[in-house]
Structure 1
Amino acid sequence: MKIFLAGTGTMGSGIAQVFAQFGNEVCMYDRELALVDRAYARIEKQLTRQLDKGRMTEEEVAATLSLLSKTESLEDAEDCDLVIEAIFEDMDAKHDLFRKLDVICRPDCLFCSNTSSLSITEMAHGLGHESKFLGFHFFNPAPVMKLVEIVKGANTAPETIAQAKEIALAIEKEAVEVKESPGFIVNRILVPMINEACDLYYQGVASAEDIDTAMRFGANHPMGPLALGDLIGLDVVLDIMNILYEETGDPKYRASLQLKSMVRAGDLGRKSGKGFYDYKK
């Protein structure tokens, strides 16, 4: 299978790595080739770590990298079987990207968005590929996390869902089918928990370390909610909370003032070097 991967940030590069490791050609696209080069370097670094740990051979690393190609032209999607979009969470930007791809790609090409919370129906509206459009939501880091949420839009064909499940199985992911709803399953439950932890910190109930320790040892979570927020990116957490609140109008989804202030200050977590914890040390 040949995949066109649009958006080469952390999630995009992880998704590209997953498909390439399972023998698929992946054409990595971004608006600037420098961004694609950076993503390729991230993948190469991750594969080298697997080699050093004895989890991959030199031949497997070389074979995986050989399946990755780079482009800054959407025209290279014309012969792909599958498009996966992994750009930033903005409906207008995503719809505009798919609108352009709609006239380039083959009619039988599957269109997938990695959106974590936006409406698949709205994103696919008016496209020729509307029946071939669905959500295919990976979790970070994509090469490690085993779950994919398969999200059906109002006009997604049943055979499209079946095809997506087969693809998930082929890359050894556990797939869950989700009715379109703000945040789907995982983020609808997880992100408000992170937001509540932010509120506890804001109110001075406990330190970040103690909040995370409590959830690790009291709820058997592998990572505390504030450390997890730092890993996801606090800006992403805030975006999802805002979408949940806008879509439902439910005050329980109102973003924490602590979360808002940290994002305004540029303290986004691991990717900025500082969040609830300092990663510059």
Structure 2
Amino acid sequence: AKRRTLMTTPATTREARDAGHALFAADGVPVTVMRDSTGFVAQRIVATIVNIGCDIAQKQIATPRDIDLAVTLGLGYPRGPLALGDALGARTILTILRNIHTVLGDPRYRPSPWLARRAQLGLSLTQADAADINASNEAPQ
């Protein structure tokens, strides 16, 4: 690691912060100390990317497969947003979004109903709805 980050909470004492800093810096890697914030930056970004992918799927703008394909080919991401959501777990993404939304009340973090339903049912985010699959198989070619 080139740098480590130590995030304190409002309850972190100076002694605990200093002890944590000493432990993380013991091998010579620089440590940045920052105050608590609503969700780590990476968690907020990843959860938002997955959530936007879920909103696109819910609005049927594109299929889950096409959403992931567009992001991997167009943006060069190693995984599409829905595959990333599956890898991290839909329930985990849902929990992150709900917690941030509860604390901030910011509509950007409102979980997609499509995400919430799939998390509740234990369904993959990458799988198209069964009704959509059946409709595409019945459509004339």
Q: Normalising by the residue count of structure 1, what TM-score does the alignment of the two structures yield?
A: 0.39
Residue type matched to 1:276 in 2?
T
The counterpart of 2:46, out of the listed 176, 186, 190, is 190
State the Cα distance separating 1:175 from its structure 2 match: 6.4
**Residue pairs, 1:1-281, within 5 angstroms:** 149-154=5-10, 155-157=12-14, 158-166=17-25, 177-267=33-123, 274-277=124-127
Higher helix share: 2
State the Cα distance separating 1:151 from its structure 2 match: 1.4
User: Identity over the aligned pairs, expressed in percent?
Assistant: 28
Q: Please, what is the CA RMSD of the aligned residues?
A: 2.9
Higher strand share: 1
* Corresponding pairs, count: 125
Contact 1:178 1:184 (C-alpha < 8 Å) held by counterparts: no
What CA distance in whole angstroms lies between the structure 2 residues aligned with 1:208 and 1:240?
21
What CA distance in whole angstroms lies between the structure 1 residues aligned with 2:73 and 2:31?
28
State the Cα distance separating 1:181 from its structure 2 match: 1.0
Residue type matched to 1:159 in 2?
D
Secondary structure at 1:182 match in 2: coil
Contact 1:151 1:180 (C-alpha < 8 Å) held by counterparts: yes
Give ranges in structure 1 of 5+ residues lacking alignment.
Answer: 1-145, 268-273
Contact 1:178 1:185 (C-alpha < 8 Å) held by counterparts: no
Secondary structure at 1:190 match in 2: helix
What CA distance in whole angstroms lies between the structure 1 residues aligned with 2:49 and 2:32?
21
Secondary structure at 1:150 match in 2: strand
State the Cα distance separating 1:198 from its structure 2 match: 0.5
Contact 1:152 1:161 (C-alpha < 8 Å) held by counterparts: no
Give ranges in structure 2 of 5+ residues lacking alignment.
Answer: 129-141
Aligned CA distance change for structure 1 residues 177 and 216 (closer, same or farther; 3 Å): farther
Aligned CA distance change for structure 1 residues 218 and 238 (closer, same or farther; 3 Å): same
Contact 2:94 2:116 (C-alpha < 8 Å) held by counterparts: yes
Residue type matched to 1:240 in 2?
I
String of CA shifts for 1:70-128, please: whole Å, max 9, x gaps. Answer: xxxxxxxxxxxxxxxxxxxxxxxxxxxxxxxxxxxxxxxxxxxxxxxxxxxxxxxxxxx
State the Cα distance separating 1:252 from its structure 2 match: 1.1
Relative contact order higher in (CA < 8 Å, ≥ 6 apart): 2
